[in-house]
Amino acid sequence: MPAVQETVAQVKKIDVDQYKYGFETDIEMVKAPKGLNEDIVRFISEKKAEPAWMLEWRLDAYRRWRAMTEPTWAKISYPKIDFEDLYYYAAPKNSEGPKSLADVDPELLKMYERLGVPLQEQEILAGVKSDKPRVAVDAVFDSVSVVTTFKDELAKAGVIFCSISEALREHGDLVRKYLGSVVPQSDNYYAALNSAVFSDGSFVYVPEGVRCPMELSTYFRINERETGQFERTLIIAEKGSYVSYLEGCTAPMRDENQLHAAVVELIALDDAEIKYSTVQNWYPGDKNGKGGIYNFVTKRGDCRGRNSKISWTQVETGSAITWKYPSCILRGDNSRGEFYSIAVSNGYQQVDSGTKMIHLGKNTSSRIISKGIAAGYSQNTYRGLVSAHRKATGARNFTACDSLLIGDKCGAHTVPYIEAKNSSAHFEHEATTSKISDDMLFYCQQRGLSEEEAVALVVNGFVRDVLQQLPMEFLAETQKLIGISLEGSVG
Amino acid sequence: MTVQMLSTKAEQAILASFEANAAKLPGGAAVAALRRAAIGAFASKGLPSRRVEEFKYTDLKANVKDVLPLATGGGTGDAATSLGAHFGPEFAANAVVFADGRGVAAKAGVTCLADTLGNAPDWVAAALADAELSASSDLLLNTALFSDGAVIDIAAGAEVAEPIVIVATATDNAMTALRHVIRVGAGAKATIVEIERAPEGSGARQSSALTQIAIGDGAEVVHIKVVETHKGSLHLSHWQVNLGANVTYKPFQMTLGEGLARNGLNVLFNGQHSTFDYGAASIVHGTGHADSSLIVDHKVPHCTSRELFKTVLDGQARAVFQGRVIVRPNAQKTDGKQMAQALMLSPDAEFDSKPELEIYADDVVCGHGSTAAEIDPDLVFYCTSRGIPTAVARGLLIESFIGEAIDKVEHEGLREALGGIARDSLTA
């Protein structure tokens, strides 16, 4: 069977209305009382057995958050979120401190198996040959990390990969040194909220000169009703180190909207490189726009050292609302930031996403490739900032953001801000918006492809530049995801 | 409703200036009511700060520290002097001059708004009350304070051979506000030139000019503006343009100098198969600030928009380009292209660009580009390797960069005049 037909046939097996990951897991949970106040913040901190400074840090964030108002500048509309009507902490009852996979609730393991997340590391550890790629996984279920695999093997290389709660207990000094140094507590409304109530997330520390021996991955799952998920990820790459990190997300299908407000901080020191890839597939709501995740995320990387590099790759197909701008602060001389994005919206999804490249050091460079695909009744906005500070001599940027519209009920928007504050900055920006041309479709159909196959072929070609940046582990899934997200959008 | 408290001295001075001059401003009860409503709305909004998205890069609240006294007439001026050396006598012969906010030299076909307000034709009255103008506080100020302006009504089918020139001058340390209302009938052809320049050595001036132009089906209009500002001067310009069907509208804006200038342009496509072909060149020196902000609203199908913006910056100059192209849900077959380019000659220059696409229709081809860079050293090297001195080579490259925009002007006399003004500014 030709490759394209195979892809389409694969996609057809899954009905567009049947969000593949929409099941619920029945598991006994411990929850904090509804609403948010200082007591809830204390409750979360106590549950995590955190040091006193962390509680103070959270309370400070909470007080700042109280004084802030929700941002309204994005091109998204949604009913006002009642922050008092949410649970801010939910954890599987027996989850506190599993020592190994054997301690984890079998229901949870079953769930991750259904999601296709490889938590079983035994066969590889036992020396059984496997052609599957080896990926260390931190699985986060509602508010807590349930298990982190391959920890021992990573520890041999000196890499710390654990949940942030564990890092606070075991590596408190490291966390204290870097937490909030890229995204401060008062950075924005949702970052402040996250700083106050984040319950878990991943922590990665790669020591000087170490190339992390395997891909690291976190899998986020929202399960409980009326629960917000607030995770915090902190990745530190010491001098000359390299790490590639993957992130995936899913949630059950529900009529209600659920809130997800995460913060990710990356720090790359001299000559270090961090590659951060995301496949975001939160539940997008049904075909009438009911339900779905509100995804308000602050992701920022700090190229703090000379010659450092941070690369963001994202595939955004899920969520009712996406509000997300993975950014790079290019502070170190000769540092480099990259942003590759595919944002696919269908149904009534609203995406307002993009990046910020802030050039501060000398001879810094950045590259932005963004591909937006809007179908159905969705709205898809690219919003980006490229700025060169007065002292950032020799700053270079290239930006290409292209949008594809499928159907006449959707919208695709481009809002770039380009600020060159010195003459040696060299900025280029280009953007196009078009529909799939009838000529292209005709050409494909004339050669025997069906209309849907032709659309899949053209769309895959459209996003190829970004797909090439994805780690192999994500590539196949992403191609399938794009197919699913667009099914039913032809005509 | 949120009411913003007036906080700056300038805002309070504007309100006081309105109260002091309200009785002197032209117009009957209806116009007085419009003015009163506009100043009321201004009082609640205040001068736009960087928190107002359209003024993100041109913060008037922070930049306008003092307000100069409002001039409502009494000045003198002749066209030839006001136009400067580059516009020949044929332009002076067709010029209407506004000195210190009042028309002083009339021309056939142009009436002064102040003289017609007592018995304004319906289309003029409707234009003055256009609700689109109540959105932004710079426009509200013009409605509250305008003291005169040109009323031009070009009959359907008329072909006006010579450019109609509107020149505004003012004495130093004065504020002026002009409102021009223009109607071009179906199938007519005309060229309209607005010039706002202050001779070398002028003192501080503050001026506002708001032009409303409605263009009938099948008409062809060339619309040019030259703004020259000096240190300490402020010019706020806005064009509100309504296009019928099959219209060709070619605006060109040139901004020069060391003052603060903002050129707003809102164009609405109301009829199909129309073309908007915009060109702009700005040359900003010293601590000058030139802002060109466009909103191009494709409301109907089969229209074309083109924008080419070029700026040359030296000293600590700052140029801003904001171009927002909206394609409404039924505006299929829209073809929109936009390009903004900056050439930065000094390390401290700044260029802020925000080319924006807002698209709700799928069968469209839209694109934009934006670049900022210094002169390409390879190009300079190429010239010098062929015996051209470095300074001359740089001059040639800068001139050819800005010339690309000026070349969009088809009228030979105008193109030469604009080229001459640009050369003077570049060698200043």
- The structure tokens listed for A259 are 């809130």
Indicate the average pLDDT of chain A: 82
Per-residue pLDDT of B69-113, as tens digits, reads 998 887 777 777 778 888 888 888 888 999 999 998 777 788 999
Question: Residue B298 forms beta bridges with which residues?
Answer: B269, B327
| Phi and psi angles of residue A113, each rounded to the nearest 5 degrees, phi first | -65, -45
Query: How many Å apart are CA A354 and CA A387, to the nearest integer?
Result: 14
Q: Which residues contact A408 (CB under 8 A, 6 or more apart)?
A: B329, B332, B361, B362, B363
pLDDT at residue A218 above 90? Answer: no
Per-residue pLDDT of B10-35, as tens digits, reads 999 999 999 999 999 998 899 999 99
| Phi and psi angles of residue B350, each rounded to the nearest 5 degrees, phi first | -140, 135
Which residues in chain B touch residue A428, judged by CB atoms under 8 angstroms apart? 369-371
Selecting from B53, B362, B366 the residue whose C-beta is nearest the C-beta of A408 gives: B362
Query: How many Å apart are CA B397 and CA B416, to the nearest integer?
Result: 18
Chain A residue closest in CA terms to B53: A73
Report in angstroms the alpha-carbon separations of B406 from A50, A148, B209, B240, B428.
66, 64, 23, 22, 19
Query: How many Å apart are CA B322 and CA B304, to the nearest integer?
Result: 19
**C-beta atoms of B357 and A412 within 8 A:** yes
Closest Cα in chain B, distance from residue A246 (Å)? 32
**With pLDDT > 70 as the criterion, what percentage of chain B qualifies?**
98
Report in angstroms the alpha-carbon separations of B394 from A351, A434, B292, B374.
45, 38, 26, 11
pLDDT at residue A14 above 50? Answer: no
A28, containing H or E segment: none
Which residues in chain B touch residue A403, judged by CB atoms under 8 angstroms apart? 357, 359
Selecting from B346, B356, B372 the residue whose C-beta is nearest the C-beta of A425 gives: B372
Q: How many CA atoms lie within 13 A of A20 on its CB side?
A: 16
**C-beta atoms of B344 and A433 within 8 A:** no
Q: Which residues contact A490 (CB under 8 A, 6 or more apart)?
A: A406, A451, A452, A455
Query: How many Å apart are CA B163 and CA B224, to the nearest integer?
Result: 10
Highest mean pLDDT among A477-491, B191-205, B284-298: B284-298
CB pairs < 8 Å spanning A and B: 120
ipTM: 0.87
Selecting from A411, A423, A430 the residue whose C-beta is nearest the C-beta of B359 gives: A411
Rg (CA), chain B: 21
Selecting from B53, B332, B370 the residue whose C-beta is nearest the C-beta of A429 gives: B370
Query: DSSP label at B79?
Result: H
**C-beta atoms of A414 and B357 within 8 A:** yes
**C-beta atoms of A411 and B346 within 8 A:** no
- Under the banding of pLDDT at 50, 70 and 90, the label for residue A120 is low
Which residues in chain B touch residue A424, judged by CB atoms under 8 angstroms apart? 347, 374
Window B:358-377, CB contacts with A under 8 Å: 358-374
Residues B415, B419, B425, B427: what is their CA dihedral angle, to the nearest 10 degrees?
A: -170
**C-beta atoms of B368 and A414 within 8 A:** yes
Instruction: Tell me the three state secondary structure of residue B188.
Output: coil
**C-beta atoms of A433 and B361 within 8 A:** no
Residue A115 in contact with residue A21, Cβ under 8 Å? yes
Selecting from A406, A415, A423 the residue whose C-beta is nearest the C-beta of B347 gives: A423
Of A77 and B181, more confident: B181
Longest CA–CA span in chain B (Å) reads: 70
pTM over 0.95: no
Query: How many Å apart are CA B9 and CA A256, to the nearest integer?
Result: 50
Report in angstroms the alpha-carbon separations of B19 from B36, B137, B139, B206.
10, 17, 18, 18
**C-beta atoms of A431 and B355 within 8 A:** yes
Residue A284 in contact with residue A105, Cβ under 8 Å? no
Which residues in chain A touch residue B363, judged by CB atoms under 8 angstroms apart? 408, 435
Q: Is B316 on the interface with A (CB under 8 A)?
A: no
Give the pLDDT of residue B166: 94
Sketch the domain layout of chain B as residue ranges.
71-374
Residue B42 in contact with residue B140, Cβ under 8 Å? yes
Closest Cα in chain B, distance from residue A469 (Å)? 24
Q: Tell me the helix, strand and coil percentages in chain B, rounded to 5.
A: 25, 40, 35
Per-residue pLDDT of A273-293, as tens digits, reads 999 988 888 888 887 878 888
Determine the Cα angle at B45 with ends B43 and B51, to 5°. Answer: 150
Query: What one-letter code names the amino acid at A152?
Result: D
Chain A residue closest in CA terms to B343: A423
Which residues in chain B touch residue A406, judged by CB atoms under 8 angstroms apart? 362
Q: How many CA atoms lie within 13 A of B145 on its CB side?
A: 31
Question: Residue B19 forms beta bridges with which residues?
Answer: none
**C-beta atoms of B372 and A426 within 8 A:** yes
Q: What is the mean pLDDT of residues A218-240?
A: 82
Q: What is the mean pLDDT of residues A399-408?
A: 87
**C-beta atoms of B357 and A434 within 8 A:** no
B81, containing H or E segment: helix B79-83
Instruction: Tell me the three state secondary structure of residue A64.
Output: helix
